[in-house]
Structure 1
Amino acid sequence: MPDHGAMKTLEVILQRELAGLRERSGKKALDVLEVGTIRETAEGARPADGWSTLFFAEHVAEHGGRVVGVDLDVSAARLVLQRHGVAEKVELVTGSSLEVLPRLVDEGASFDVIFLDSDNDPDLVMSEYEFALKLIRPGGLILADDVDQDDVWVRKGLKLIPYLKDSGVAFRIDRREASWGGRDVMIQEVKG
């Protein structure tokens, strides 16, 4: 169930979850895969767009690890990362997630954290989640943004959330602030 008691930004949720993962795993450096990167370059877009790519880059700059960001268009992410001096901390990959993720699986890549935040398409998000299960390390985190079930415009979770419930997968939902209201974030701690 969503935690409506204390509204928070996406960065606050990500900070809490990565700190918890570092504590549970004993790892300082985490490898992160983000599907869907920064889309708007204006500083005022940070709260709404989430700017998780910048958050992950700053996290890696402080704690070590690596970030791979996948999007059809990474130009906004590249500009924001350069402006903040952390462009070298993120490997930006231009392409469709459904082309890039299978390639990462074939290469034997693995990650401690996978953040799904691409297009507002329930079928796409479900497919990305299936690849995430092949790429996540035991004990890692899979997160998906904008998985609201009661918003007619936000469709990312329409297949994923029922699938997780029907499959008995342990997950939780947290609610983040956005300029247009709150949005749900799915958090799954993958068992080792």
Structure 2
Amino acid sequence: MSAKPDEDILNHNYDPAYRHLLKAKEIAQKENVSPELLSEINRAIELYQQRHTYCEGQTTQPSQALDTLINETLCYPWKDAHKKGEISYVASPRMLSGNKEVQLIKSITSASKARMALEIGLFTGCASLGMAEALPKDGKVVSLEIDKGIGDLARSFLDKSPAGHKVEIIVGPALESMGKLAANKMKFDIIFMDANKDGYVSYYKTIFEKDLLASGGTLIVDNVLKSGDPYSGEKYESNSWAISEFNEVVLQDDRVHKVMLPVRDGIYLIRRTEDTGDWLP
């Protein structure tokens, strides 16, 4: 039982070093360089691929329900659904959290003894289901999704899983939904942010201004390396400026302890300093 690999992940297009290696190979072949040099370039490319495969193999495989959800998402006719007006924007399987990332989120959820989780940006429910599987029987995941068609699709996927009933989907603009949750005094032990990148700063500020993150809670933010653009200075992604802005906001925020991990397209783990001992001299 293993999910089909997302081609963007398999080809490591998130990593600019890998992209440049592929370009170097192309140039080397045209320039007819020495076999030794071309062999080293090929070996470097091979090592990138082998590391990915090795890490995936060393990671807990998805549950049957999660595996089915991942595969159905990868095989779904997203372009046709948009043309038919079933969804409001052109979605891509690349928006799916891969198994390695979901298992990391699941581990953090379990280790934190979380009971309440919030997801900002549902898509088809991959991360939501991972968190739901790690929550106790009375636990709950609240997932925010802007598009009703995608929300309905995610619901159909989640309803096939034993833990899917723990996920509540709220359709509408995330900031409005977050405001309502705060008004109802809801707090979350885990918050996973993976929505529109130009909204990250607003979502981040709202989380702390409206006290949505529970004491001792963890905020997990996806795509903070954005195909390498924030540190490479390249413009591989059109909206990478928003991630660079967000990363700087977090870096300058002395209220939080943060660590950025190069998992998939980059993950930020963010906690309050009082929960990590950063206030100590």
Which bin holds the TM-score, normalised by the shorter protein?
Answer: 0.7 to 0.9
| 2:266 match: secondary structure | strand
Query: Which residue of the other structure, out of 190, 195, 204, is the alignment partner of 1:129?
Result: 204
Q: CA deviation at 1:53?
A: 1.4
The yes-or-no answer on 1:10 pairing with 2:82 is no
Alpha-carbon distance in 1 for matches of 2:205, 2:107: 25
Alpha-carbon distance in 1 for matches of 2:221, 2:202: 12
The yes-or-no answer on 1:189 pairing with 2:264 is no
The yes-or-no answer on 1:158 pairing with 2:244 is yes
The yes-or-no answer on 1:171 pairing with 2:171 is no
The yes-or-no answer on 1:145 pairing with 2:222 is yes
Task: Calculate the TM-score normalised by the size of structure 2.
Answer: 0.53
For residues 42-74 of structure 1, give each alpha carbon's deviation from its aligned partner in whole angstroms, at most 9, with x where no partner exists: xxxxxxxx81011122223x5541110011121
In structure 2, list runs of 5 or more residues that go unmatched. 1-50, 57-99, 230-235, 276-281
Structure with larger RCO (C-alpha < 8 A, sep 6+): 1
> Could you tell me the percent identity over the aligned residues?
23
Q: CA deviation at 1:159?
A: 1.9
Q: CA deviation at 1:78?
A: 0.6
The question of whether the paired residues in 2 share the 8 Å contact of 1:132 and 1:142 is answered with no
- Matching residue of 1:42: none
Q: Which has the higher strand share?
A: 1
Alpha-carbon distance in 2 for matches of 1:63, 1:186: 28
The question of whether the paired residues in 2 share the 8 Å contact of 1:114 and 1:141 is answered with yes
Query: Which residue of the other structure, out of 142, 149, 170, is the alignment partner of 1:93?
Result: 170
Alpha-carbon distance in 2 for matches of 1:145, 1:101: 18
The question of whether the paired residues in 1 share the 8 Å contact of 2:103 and 2:130 is answered with no
The yes-or-no answer on 1:65 pairing with 2:139 is yes
How many residue pairs align between the two structures?
A: 165
Alpha-carbon distance in 1 for matches of 2:145, 2:176: 11
Q: Which has the higher helix share?
A: 2
Query: Which residue of the other structure, out of 99, 111, 118, is the alignment partner of 2:195?
Result: 118
| 2:220 match: secondary structure | strand
